[in-house]
Structure 1
Amino acid sequence: MNNPILERNAQDIGLLFLRVSAAVFLMVVHGLPKLLDFHAQLSLIEDPFHLGASLTLSLAIFAEVVCPIFIAAGLFVRLSCLPIIVVLLVALVVVHPQWSLEEGQFGWLLLIIFTAVFISGPGRLALNARLNGAVRYV
């Protein structure tokens, strides 16, 4: 593409697709099962920092349900990526350090995607782009 306007639109559409698809995927595969079956998940969740299963699960649900909603909407995208990145790093480095790259490939791929969204920001097709002031670049 030699047209800068078309290139910019393609970048924004690409960022929108990346944000929404990654957020929905994380929420459906990881977040909603935890939220919808909270009590059963309490006995399954790892608690590597000894915060208690309930708090650890609640933090995971925040990162895997609430943050993806903000990311998909394009509101506070960079800020919302941080809890996801932290949860993924804890899962991969602290909870499952024995996993090979093949065993942890899904987690590493999500880490790469949400780190890319964190670095690039939401693009112009986001609620942040419609707002003025400090929230525009968060």
Structure 2
Amino acid sequence: MPTFDSPRLTAFGLLFMRIAAAVLLLLIHGLPKLLNWSTELQHIEDPFGLGATLTLGLAVFAEVLCPILLILGVFARLACLPVLAVLLVALVVVHPDWSLEQGQFAWLLLVLFGGLALTGPGAWTLAGVLARRR
């Protein structure tokens, strides 16, 4: 009788969660910011007074580079931290007036990236593939 508590299923579940969360963040938030840099500079909130360029740069780092690292499974736990920081700033500082419904996508990403920060990337990562080839 097959068991649903196998290491393969856990590895597949973490791979699926890692890639799905990263692709959603990358496509919906990260790439639009990067590809429309000039326009985004006009609209980005600057809650800490760092300046629009630095604030946008930090957001792009968290929403483009970190998801790519997460997809590859490279420095995955560490890559979740900037994403979590950006999400928390958005929810707590920039949009504290949002209802749960208005902020549901940010809350969902917070749960996914928080879970990945706790569990790690799982067994199926680029580092794992390279280590198995040696």
* TM-score range relative to shorter protein: over 0.9
Q: Which runs of 4+ in 1 moved over 6 A?
A: none
After TM superposition, the score normalised by the length of structure 1 is 0.90
> Is the 1:76–1:128 Cα contact (8 Å) retained in structure 2?
no
Counterpart residue number, 2:127: 128
Residue 2 (structure 1) shift: 3.0
SS in structure 1 opposite 2:46?
coil
Residue 53 (structure 1) shift: 0.2
Equivalent-residue separation in structure 2 for 1:81 and 1:70 (angstroms): 9
Identity value in percent:
55
Task: Give unpaired runs (5+ residues) of structure 2.
Answer: none
Question: Which structure 2 residues correspond to residues 1-138 of structure 1 after superposition, within 5 A?
Answer: 1-2=2-3, 7-130=6-129
Measured against aligned partners, the alpha-carbon deviations of 1:72-100 in whole angstroms (never above 9, x if no partner) come to: 00000000000000000000000000001
Equivalent-residue separation in structure 1 for 2:4 and 2:28 (angstroms): 38
Evaluate the alpha carbon distance shift between residue 44 and residue 3 of structure 1 in structure 2; reply closer, same or farther with a 3 A threshold: closer
Q: How many residues align?
A: 130
Task: Give unpaired runs (5+ residues) of structure 1.
Answer: 133-138
Equivalent-residue separation in structure 1 for 2:50 and 2:8 (angstroms): 45
SS in structure 2 opposite 1:111?
helix
- Which amino acid in structure 1 is aligned with residue 75 of structure 2? F
After TM superposition, the score normalised by the length of structure 2 is 0.93
Evaluate the alpha carbon distance shift between residue 55 and residue 3 of structure 1 in structure 2; reply closer, same or farther with a 3 A threshold: closer
Equivalent-residue separation in structure 1 for 2:13 and 2:4 (angstroms): 16
